[in-house]
Amino acid sequence: MLGWDGELPPPAVRTMEEMRPVLADPSCTCGDPLYFMYRDLAKSDADWRWLHAHHLRYDLTVIPPRSLCGEWVKTKGHYHPVNKAGVGYPEIYEVLEGEAHYLLQSKDLTDVVMIPAQTGDVVIIPPGYGHISINPSPDKVLAMANIVSTAFESEYGEYESRHGAAYFEFSSGELRENPRYPALPPVRKLRSKSGYGDHRISKGPLYNLIGDADALAFLNHPEKYLAVFSVLLKD
């Protein structure tokens, strides 16, 4: 499989029927699965035990290229809850193959951010932001890895109730506001980064960070890294 040379369990499959409520055109038809999720992976028993001991999970998501009645194929979208310190859990992604557009939106909808990422780029979803992942290519598969805390479950309800993210991205290049949201700010476009200088979190490849507790501590204890997160979303 793209970007992975370890064993793979059967994937969870996101079907068209599951995605229909969050599409720009809910009447769009497509008979194939839209994307595949491989959860809780490791290349060795030792790596798997280390991840679980540190309340972490390594996943892969594969999104084949597809236009859904003009809209680029995407993930469903979710928010993360807050931890015991009252700070939202973050998440870290790496593009293994292809390209991705990560569309982030703050919970209060005062900020919407698009982060384009290429193969090898690392993108951190900071606390307080929901997100979707978009494959903006007409012919390339997007394969991406992520590491996330196992201390919570993703929250899909906001995206479901509003029928998608704040904006829809179309193959024409258009970013169209979702009419089910209140007045929205324009989309800010940022480059992928993991901080800089003293305000740096982690660099890829993500899998190489397994075993490095300091490099991944921000995923369970984001309250200790607020200065770093503020850097990530600066223009």
Does the pTM exceed 0.75?
A: yes
The pLDDT tens digits of the residues spanning 107-124 come to: 999 999 999 999 999 999
The pLDDT tens digits of the residues spanning 138-186 come to: 999 999 999 999 999 999 999 999 999 999 999 999 999 999 999 999 9
Task: Please name the residues in contact with 49: beta carbons below 8 A apart, sequence gap of 6 or more.
Answer: none
pLDDT of residue 159: 97
pLDDT of residue 30: 83
Beta bridge partners of 149: 56
Instruction: Answer whether 211's CB lies under 8 Å from 149's CB.
Output: no
What tokens were used for 217?
């501590």
Q: Give the burial class of 99: count Cβ atoms within 10 A of its Cβ; 0-12 exposed, 13-18 middle, 19 or more buried.
A: middle
Instruction: Answer whether 73's CB lies under 8 Å from 61's CB.
Output: no
3-class DSSP state of 46? helix
pLDDT of residue 3: 73
pLDDT of residue 219: 97
pLDDT of residue 235: 81
pLDDT of residue 10: 94
On average, the pLDDT of the chain sits at 93
Phi-psi region of 70 (alpha: psi -120 to 50; beta: other; left: phi over 0): left
pLDDT of residue 2: 66
pLDDT under 70: residue ranges of the chain? 1-2, 194-200
Tokens 């479901």 correspond to 160
